Amino acid sequence: MTALAATARHARYVIAENPVTGFAFALFVLIVLAAVFGPHIVPYNPLSSDTAAALQPPNMHHWFGTDQLGRDVFSRVIVATRLDFFIAVASVALVFLMGGLAGVAAGFFGGWTDRIVGRIADTIMAFPLFVLAMGIVAALGNTVQNIVLATAIVNFPLYARIARAEANVRREAGFVEAARLSGNSDWRILACQILPNVFPILVVQMSLTMGYAILNAAGLSFIGLGVRPPTPEWGIMVAEGSAFMVSGEWWNAFFPGAALMIAVFCFNLLGDGLRDMVDPRRRT
Amino acid sequence: MAHMTAVPALSVEGLTVEFRTRSGIVRALDNVSFSVEKGETIALVGESGSGKSVTAYAVMGILDPAGRVTAGRAMLGGLDLLSAKPSQLADVRGREIAMIFQNPRTALNPIRPVGRQIADVLIRHGNVPRNEAPAQAIEMLRAVGITDPVRRAKAYPFEMSGGMCQRVMIAIALAAKPSLLIADEPTTGLDVTTQAVIMDLVSDLARDLGMATIFITHDLALGGQRSARIVVMHAGHVVEDAPTKELFAHPRHPYTAELIAATPDAAASLDQLASIPGSLPDLRRADLPNCRYSERCPRKIDACVQPLPRPDPGATHIVACWNPLP
Amino acid sequence: MTVLLDVAEFSKLFPVGGVPGPIARLRRRFAGGPEKLPKVYAVDDVSFVINEGETVGLVGESGCGKSTLVRALTRLIDASDGSVKLGPRELSLTPSRDFARDPDRARIQMVFQDAGDSINPRFTAFDAIADPLRRLRKMRGKALTQRVETVASQCGLPLQFLSRFPHQLSGGQRARVGIARAIAVEPDLLVLDEPTAALDVSVQVIILQLLQRLKHEFGMSYLFVSHDLSVVRLLCDRVLVMYLGKIVESGPAAEVFAHPLHPYTQALVAAVPRLGENATERLRLTGEPMSPIDPDPKVCRFSGRCPRGTDACKTAMPALRRFGNRQVACHFAEEFLVQPKIAT
């Protein structure tokens, strides 16, 4: 049985045992489907405005109502899934590569590598994280790429630290010495022996970071430093909709806010489930 | 010497323990019975999976939460430890019955100086006034052979060697002068010279305090060195219970004989060593045979399917076997 | 007998507290400090040979330096001083980090103490055994699979277990995987670092008999490191006894254990529990070993704990002297030659 098949079987077992994880996993699939197929299945064009139909409460034609420009809120919320999900996935992938690799190298080689990575992480941690994200986006410009970059940079110390700790522990392990005896060079040991052991632990963290990344993007959009209108994105929609809360048009801000909440909730639950799955104490 | 009319220090009767696990119920112990007289030292010997540590943990009431005692009693004096209330247990543990563990460094509190850890026991169980406890703790350190006890009392476990940590653990265990000490593989991981010294120490202290000792080990030779009796366990059963000399001279249970034959010291050359055929039965099976050794036993006969023979109450050499060696 | 491994005046020292970093070095240079860093003399001036086809035992307690010596011999770490010759070749000329790619890498292999720890938890047994074959013998595909299966069978590992992970294998099976991996590349010298320490007695017998058989079949030499004297006595032709970085005694295994000459060996042999024997009056070592940091080269390392020690032991380090096929580093060796201290 290959490693993959064993993991899949264990995954099925964990999901079966813990219904909450199963629920989170189903929700995750739903979100992915919305991101992939959303723009093709929504009833209205999320960008087309129809001021005559502005600020309608939820009704049969517009399930989530319309916003101040007459755009269908439901369509916008679903289409925004793609953008927010992309930001989450891209940020997490980037920070995993940057932080994970830097941390593993620092933990395994020690010496100057460790010192340099440590100082970089310390510098980043010296700033309040959101302020730093704001600063990076403000300096580099309001694009989706920069939001992704800012999120990745802000999370770098966490991943570097986790990866470093795991690599450090395993550096002394018997199997690393055995690998040297078998003719593996240091780099090969890092790639083939250490990384596969560190990866599962980072994956758990990645799921949690996805939730944070979405919130981060939403937060930046909320203060005007994120995605620009009219692009549908949950954060901007909440920002624009908040102005109408007081006058009673709650649906503008509520539905994108709820979508945010559900997505983050799903990723966090998924992280818990993943932690169960990769726990080294797993038994057959 | 048959089991006398005097009350034994500890009498375990019919102890049966199960563990609930993901893959089923593990019948870890089945009808385990033995006793220790006051002041006597016995060895509980078995390989991994024999249940010897589980027995100790059950008696002390520190079984893993997944474990349950489903039958049996453990009589310490007049008190059944297995059905005692938590408050009764808390009184008895430390004062009447103490335990030392395998890995001394991890069994000690890493962030508390060792002198204070001993003092804690003295205050809680030894009825020693708070202001006198530190001085007595230093005396205990001296009694267990730690040099410069005044300075060492302030040290932390990580500053001490494995042998020293084990001595500290013995000091903690004996601080309140219990009547029974359970030592669970206390010298595994220690050098053989340190092991000898630690074993001597425990023996000497036990003799001075008139303390009964149950010494748990997988090393048959080590177990036999300082015990009056040896109880051999296999797969959750007691298979043989006999005075030490007699066990080595005339082992009656086939497993005991095989264990002796597999121990390196017994053989003059490698070819003379014999391994034990077969392997441990899976204790999760619902269809475990009455004799858990029967499936790997070369002396198996038809009678072996019945429940194991009841031990003769007055016997000194107990064998749980229908076809024991003569 | 042909010499396979020749170790001469080998030493390995470690700076106390690890190698100083750049800040510490700067601080020492400008703010002053001790001239030389205090060092731990893990292995101090050790010399011995291993012949072809021989099993040499290395015995000693924690802190004696055997782990360090073993790691240096297998080229996982570098020596501080001295020479290690494999056949005609001087191994210490190649730094340890380059030795992984060396053509002679396959000639020295090791079986580890904790088989579970020495196999990558993400590797199957097959992967673990195949790794050295892939790296050192460049084997692939069908040839690789065949070789792995052959070696696994030779080590008594049923083929269906090859697809299992370490946590799915029993202790004995893991030990077999560790051995299979080590012999797969047909080494000349196999170093065994307490290979049966974590195993039950019944499993230990099987593994020891397996090791014996493999040695005869493949003509390897063994360096068998163990603290279990009973096992060493069974398996080894010769034995070296180490204490605090130095060899204190060596000779044929059976003789050393029957008639130990060095007081430390005597205490060691006396401490081993014997089946059926009570622990009667024995040689007991009191106190703790002396510090391995910058030891005085004129003082015998065992003085202070030695029951035979006198003031003479503090003025001159006893040299390893030869008495027939025995070697002892003790001023009073002659006494012990004549009068055995321990009756067996």
Q: What is the ipTM of this complex?
A: 0.83
pLDDT at position A284, please? 29
Q: Which ranges of chain C does DSSP label H, i.e. alpha helix?
A: 22-31, 66-73, 96-99, 125-136, 141-154, 171-183, 201-218, 229-235, 253-258, 263-271, 333-338
Cα(C1)–Cα(B309) distance, rounded to whole angstroms?
Answer: 59
Contact C113, C152 (CB under 8 A): no
Closest Cα in chain B, distance from residue A165 (Å): 21
Q: Is residue A232 helix, strand or coil? A: coil
Give helix then strand counts, H and E, for chain B: 11, 11
Indicate whether B189 pLDDT > 90.
Answer: no
Closest Cα in chain B, distance from residue C339 (Å): 22
> Residue C81: beta bridge partners?
C11
CB proximity C267 to B under 8 Å: yes
C300 Cβ contact list (under 8 Å, min separation 6): C306, C309, C313, C314, C316, C317, C318, C329, C330, C331
Q: Which ranges of chain A does DSSP label H, i.e. alpha helix?
A: 3-17, 19-41, 73-95, 101-109, 111-125, 129-140, 144-171, 174-181, 186-188, 195-222, 234-245, 251-278
* C167: region left, alpha or beta (phi > 0 left; psi from -120 to 50 alpha): alpha
Strands C3-15 and C189-193, by their bridges, are unpaired
Q: What is the overall mean pLDDT for chain B? A: 87
| Cα-based angle C2, C6, C9 (whole degrees, multiple of 5) | 150
Average pLDDT over every residue of C258-275: 86
Instruction: List chain C residues with CB under 8 Å of B255.
Output: none
Q: Is residue B279 helix, strand or coil? A: coil
Point out the least confidently predicted range of C22-31, C259-268, C292-301: C22-31
- pLDDT tens digit sequence for A139-196: 998 888 999 999 999 999 999 999 999 998 888 888 998 998 998 888 888 888 888 8
Cα(C21)–Cα(C42) distance, rounded to whole angstroms?
Answer: 21
Confidence of residue A2 (pLDDT cuts 50, 70, 90): low
Instruction: List chain A residues with CB under 8 Å of B22.
Output: 283
More confident residue, A246 or A1: A246
Confidence of residue B324 (pLDDT cuts 50, 70, 90): confident
Confidence of residue C279 (pLDDT cuts 50, 70, 90): low
Strands C81-86 and C3-15, by their bridges, are antiparallel
Average pLDDT over every residue of A72-85: 88
pLDDT at position C55, please? 93
**Dihedral, CA atoms, B289, B290, B295, B296, nearest 10 degrees?**
140
Whether residues A178 and C122 touch (CB distance < 8 A) is answered with no
Q: Distance between alpha carbon C257 and the CA centroid of its chain, in Å?
A: 18
Q: How many residues does chain A have?
A: 284
Q: Residue for token digits 């500290």? A: B168
Q: Give the mutation candidate from C99, C112, C131 for the A interface (greatest A CB count, under 10 A).
A: C131
pLDDT at position B309, please? 84
- Chain B positions touching chain C (beta carbons under 8 Å): 47-48, 147, 161-164, 191-197, 199-200, 203, 218-222, 224-226, 245, 248-249, 258-260, 262-267, 269-271, 273-276
For B192, the closest of C202, C268, C287 (CB atoms) is: C268
pLDDT at position A154, please? 92
> Residue C277: beta bridge partners?
none
Average pLDDT over every residue of C239-245: 92
Cα(B275)–Cα(C343) distance, rounded to whole angstroms?
Answer: 29
CB proximity A180 to C under 8 Å: yes
Nearest CA in chain B to C205: B275
Indicate whether B3 pLDDT > 50.
Answer: no
Whether residues A197 and C121 touch (CB distance < 8 A) is answered with yes
Confidence of residue A4 (pLDDT cuts 50, 70, 90): low
Whether residues B199 and C203 touch (CB distance < 8 A) is answered with no
Instruction: For chain B, give the percent of residues with pLDDT over 90.
Output: 28
Nearest CA in chain C to A183: C100
Measured from the Cβ of residue C23, the count of other Cβ atoms closer than 10 Å reads 9
Q: Would you report the helix, strand and coil content of chain C in percent, each value rounded to 5?
A: 35, 20, 40
Cα(A9)–Cα(B175) distance, rounded to whole angstroms?
Answer: 52
Instruction: List chain A residues with CB under 8 Å of B23.
Output: 283-284
Q: Is residue C319 helix, strand or coil? A: coil
Cα(B321)–Cα(C4) distance, rounded to whole angstroms?
Answer: 53
- pLDDT tens digit sequence for A185-207: 888 888 888 888 888 888 888 88
Instruction: List chain A residues with CB under 8 Å of C105.
Output: 181, 183
Sheet holding C326-328, edge to edge: C108-111, C189-193, C221-226, C55-59, C238-243, C246-252, C326-328, C321-323
Average pLDDT over every residue of B83-105: 86
Cα(B103)–Cα(B168) distance, rounded to whole angstroms?
Answer: 12
Which run of H or E residues covers position C247? strand C246-252
Chains within contact range of chain C (3+ C-beta pairs < 8 Å)? A, B
pLDDT at position A121, please? 94
Chains within contact range of chain B (3+ C-beta pairs < 8 Å)? A, C
Q: What is the overall mean pLDDT for chain A? A: 85
For C284, the closest of B164, B197, B266 (CB atoms) is: B197
Q: Of A38, A104, A6, which Cα lies nearest the Cα of C121?
A: A6
- pLDDT tens digit sequence for C4-55: 888 989 999 888 776 777 777 777 777 766 666 788 888 888 999 999 989 9
CB pairs under 8 A between A and C: 71
Written as six digits, the tokens of C181 are 């991996």
Average pLDDT over every residue of B179-185: 92
- pLDDT tens digit sequence for C63-93: 788 889 999 999 888 888 889 998 888 888 8
Chains within contact range of chain A (3+ C-beta pairs < 8 Å)? B, C
Written as six digits, the tokens of C300 are 């015998």
Contact B97, B182 (CB under 8 A): yes
pLDDT at position A282, please? 47
Strands C189-193 and C221-226, by their bridges, are parallel
- pLDDT tens digit sequence for B48-93: 888 999 999 999 888 888 899 999 999 988 888 888 888 888 888 8
Long-range contacts (CB closer than 8 Å, 24 or more residues apart) made by B60-68: B60/B93, B60/B97, B60/B99, B60/B182, B61/B89, B61/B93, B63/B17, B64/B19, B66/B19, B66/B20, B66/B21, B67/B17, B67/B18, B67/B19, B67/B28, B68/B17, B68/B18, B68/B19, B68/B20
Cα(A145)–Cα(A138) distance, rounded to whole angstroms?
Answer: 13
Across C253-330, the runs of DSSP E, i.e. the strands, are 321-323, 326-328
Q: Give the mutation candidate from C176, C200, C204 for the B interface (greatest B CB count, under 10 A).
A: C200
Average pLDDT over every residue of C317-336: 85
Contact C336, C330 (CB under 8 A): yes
Confidence of residue A3 (pLDDT cuts 50, 70, 90): low
Average pLDDT over every residue of B8-34: 89
Q: CA dist C1 to B152, C49, C50, C87, Å?
A: 53, 11, 10, 13
Closest Cα in chain B, distance from residue A193 (Å): 29
Task: Give the DSSP per-residue string, C93-149.
Answer: GS-HHHHTT-TTGGGEEEE-S-TTTTS-TTS-HHHHHHHHHHHHS---HHHHHHHHH
Written as six digits, the tokens of A239 are 């920002």
Cα(C171)–Cα(C210) distance, rounded to whole angstroms?
Answer: 15
